Amino acid sequence: MSHQTGITAGRELLEYFATCKEGHVRMIKIGIANEELVLQDSKDVDGTWEDDILCYLSLEEKQPCYILFRLDSKNNLGYQFIFICWSPDFSPVKEKMLYAGTKSTLKQEFGGGLIKDEMFGTEKADVSLKGYKKHVVAQHAPAPLTEAEEEKQHIKRTEINTASVDTKQQTISGVAFPISQQALNKIEALGQGQFNYLQLSLDLSKEIINFEEAENVNVGDLQGHVPTDHGRYHLYNFKHTHEGDYMENIVFIYSMPGYKCSIKERMLYSSCKAPFIDNVQQLGLEVVKNIEIDDPKELTEAYIYDEVHPKKNVARQAFAKPKGPAGRGPRRMPKQES
C-alpha cells in the first residue's frame, strides 16, 4: 500500500505543465520546496529524444528529484513522457520518503495518460539511456519463480505427461490450531497500525496458538526478537520504498532453529502454518510473502526486500554442453555391417 504526503503542485507549475505539453519542451525537472512541487529546470527539444537524453539528463548525487522526459512518440492525448523518480542512496531517508509519497500526486497533476514508462533510480546508470533500454527489456521479462513454484510446475508437467496412468492426487491441508482470543486481538491491532511486529507461539500440549510479543521494531533489530531454541510465527509490517513508492507490506516469518527443537514441535509448526496464514488473511491482513528461516542472522532488510520484490530474470543463461575429455583423439564412427 502506498501513502500520500498532501504536497501538490503550485499554480505556476500547473500553468507550465499546460504549455509544455504543446511539444517544444524535452525535459522538466521538478523538486519539493516549502511543501510544494516546484519547477527546478527545463530543456527544449534539440534533437531526437535519444540524443537529448544523453545531453540533458544531469542529476545531483545527493538530492532527489523528479524528471519528466518527452519521447518522440504520441498517443491520442499528445506526446508521451518517461517519468523518472531519482532517489540517490546518499540522500536523507526523510527526503526519500517525502519524494516517494508525493510521486503519485505529481503523476496525476501532470496527466497519467501521457506517461508511457516509469523509472526509479538510485544510481545514475539506472536512469541513463542504456538504463532505460534495460528497463524496457526487463518489463517484458517473465517474473521469476520460487523453488516451490518451479517444483509445482514440474509436478504439473509430469502429471500431464503421464495422463494415461490412473492416479489420485493427495494433499495435506495442515493442522488448524485455534488462535487464542488475546492473539486474535493483537492480529487486529497490527492491522490497525498500533505496532509493526507481532510474535506468536504454539502451545503443543493445549494445541492452541498464543500471543508472545507485540511492539514497534526497526527492521535492523528483527534478528534480536527471533528465539534460537524454539519455533515461532512472526508477522511484520515491512515499511520501505520500492521504485519510488513508499510501501507497507505484511510479511509472515516462520522461524525454526533447525534440529534444536523436537520432531513434534517441528512437525506441528510446519503443519499449522498454512491454516494460520489463512486465518490471518480472513481477519483482513494481506500477507504478501511467506518467509522461512532457521537462523536469525538471515533476517536482514536486504533479504526481506528481495523476498517481497524478487528481481526479474531478463534472460536465462543457455545450457552449455560440457566439453569432452581432453586428448581422446578423433571420434570413431561405428562400423556398419554389410
pLDDT tens, 135-190? Answer: 666 665 555 555 555 555 554 544 444 333 333 333 334 567 899 999 999 999 99
| Residue 47: count of CB within 10 angstroms of its CB | 12
Confidence of residue 61 (pLDDT cuts 50, 70, 90): confident
Quickly name the fold that domain 172-308 has. Severin (3.40.20)
The answer to whether the beta carbons of residues 147 and 113 sit under 8 Å apart is: no
pLDDT more than 90, % of the chain? 36
Stretch 238-264: mean pLDDT, rounded?
Answer: 88
pLDDT more than 70, % of the chain? 79
Out of 2.60.40.2310, 3.30.1490.190, 3.40.50.300, 3.40.20.10, which CATH number does the structure's domain 11-139 have?
Answer: 3.40.20.10
All CATH 3.40.20.10 domain ranges in the chain, comma separated: 11-139, 172-308
pLDDT of residue 1: 42
> CA dihedral defined by 18, 87, 102, 303, rounded to 10 degrees?
140
Q: How far apart are CA 232 and CA 296, in angstroms?
A: 11
Q: How far apart are CA 203 and CA 219, in angstroms?
A: 27
Stretch 10-25: mean pLDDT, rounded?
Answer: 88
| pLDDT, mean over the chain | 81
Residues 140-169 as b or e (16 or more Cβ within 10 Å = b): eeeeeeeeeeeeeeeeeeeeeeeeeeeeee
The answer to whether the beta carbons of residues 68 and 110 sit under 8 Å apart is: yes
The per-residue pLDDT for range 200-248, each reduced to its tens digit, is 999 988 889 999 999 999 999 999 999 998 999 999 999 998 887 888 9
